[in-house]
Amino acid sequence: MQQHHTNGGSGHGCSRQRGQRGFTIIEVMIVLTIVGIALTFGLPSMSAWLQSNQIRNATESIQSGLQVAKSEAVRRNTNVQFTLTSLTPGGTADWSIACQTPSAECPGAGMTETSIQTFSSREGAAAARVAAPQATFTFGGTGRLTPMPAATLAINVTNPNGGACAADGGPMRCLRIQVSPGGHLKMCDPALPSTNARGC
């Protein structure tokens, strides 16, 4: 009787991969140097973008708040006030909306609900600074400012932490909200010419 022996595959049936190697120390150093150079040039622009983003967050928030105040005034057919609550000192972008004459149906000072809506600059706009001719903007039942100003009012938003505005030769894309006597709102860039759709 012949006995057949099977090879368990040790040694002959397997091929070993040769020639595999890791990175050399020189290759690692080259990669780290390239990454370091990229970060050196990229970080300043990233920082400027983050600081400019705070300006945009604050401006969009204020514009949105003004629009809510105007809409609520029309809806309730009563005067509704948008107030920059921290305009002085500091000029932060905090704001609140309330009825000029509070009642059980219209939130305001002295009521259980003291405001219709509020915003804290800590929500992505802590470094932004706001300058405006007045702290309170009151909208009447027709959506117009009351008392009606003689000219358009400007709310300027900057960020001194990031530097000067582009209009003054700095890196910051500062923004402005224009509030017309009729209640029209426009967000614009003072660095752009007035002929530009995004300019002031």
Question: N- to C-terminal Cα distance for the chain?
Answer: 104
Structural domain includes residue 58: yes
> How many C-beta atoms surround the C-beta of residue 62 within 10 A?
28
Q: Is 171 exposed, middle or buried (CB count within 10 Å of its CB: 0-12, 13-18, 19+)?
A: middle
Structural domain includes residue 64: yes
Structural domain includes residue 16: no
- pLDDT in the model for residue 80: 98
pLDDT band at 121 (very low <50, low <70, confident <90, very high): very high
Q: Among candidates 104, 184, 176, 88, which has minimal Cα distance to 136?
A: 88
- pLDDT in the model for residue 42: 47
Q: Which domain range does residue 184 map to?
A: 25-188
Structural domain includes residue 121: yes
Give the 3-state secondary structure of residue 165: strand
- pLDDT in the model for residue 50: 85
Mean pLDDT of 115-124: 94
**How far apart are alpha carbons 124 and 75 in whole angstroms?**
30
**How far apart are alpha carbons 41 and 49 in whole angstroms?**
13
Q: Among candidates 146, 156, 150, which has minimal Cα distance to 178?
A: 156
Residue 182 has pLDDT above 80, yes or no: yes
- pLDDT in the model for residue 47: 76
- pLDDT in the model for residue 114: 94
Structural domain includes residue 17: no
- pLDDT in the model for residue 38: 53
Residue 7 has pLDDT above 60, yes or no: no
- pLDDT in the model for residue 43: 47
Contacts of residue 18, Cβ cutoff 8 Å, sequence gap at least 6: none
Give the 3-state secondary structure of residue 26: helix
What confidence tens digit (pLDDT) does each residue in 11-45 have?
A: 444 444 555 566 788 767 776 666 655 555 544 56
CATH label of the domain that carries residue 56: 3.55.40.10
What confidence tens digit (pLDDT) does each residue in 42-88 have?
A: 445 677 788 899 999 999 999 999 999 999 999 999 999 999 999 88
Structural domain includes residue 62: yes
Residue 157 has pLDDT above 50, yes or no: yes
* Prediction pTM value: 0.76
Give the 3-state secondary structure of residue 178: strand
Question: Domain tally for the chain?
Answer: 1
Mean pLDDT of the chain: 86
Structural domain includes residue 12: no
What is the b/e burial string over 17-33, where b = at least 16 CB atoms within 10 angstroms of the residue's CB?
eeeeeeeeeeeeeeeee
Structural domain includes residue 168: yes
Cα atoms found within 13 Å of the Cα of residue 121, Cβ hemisphere only: 25
| CB-based contact 100:108 (threshold 8 Å) | yes
Residue owning tokens 């705070």: 54
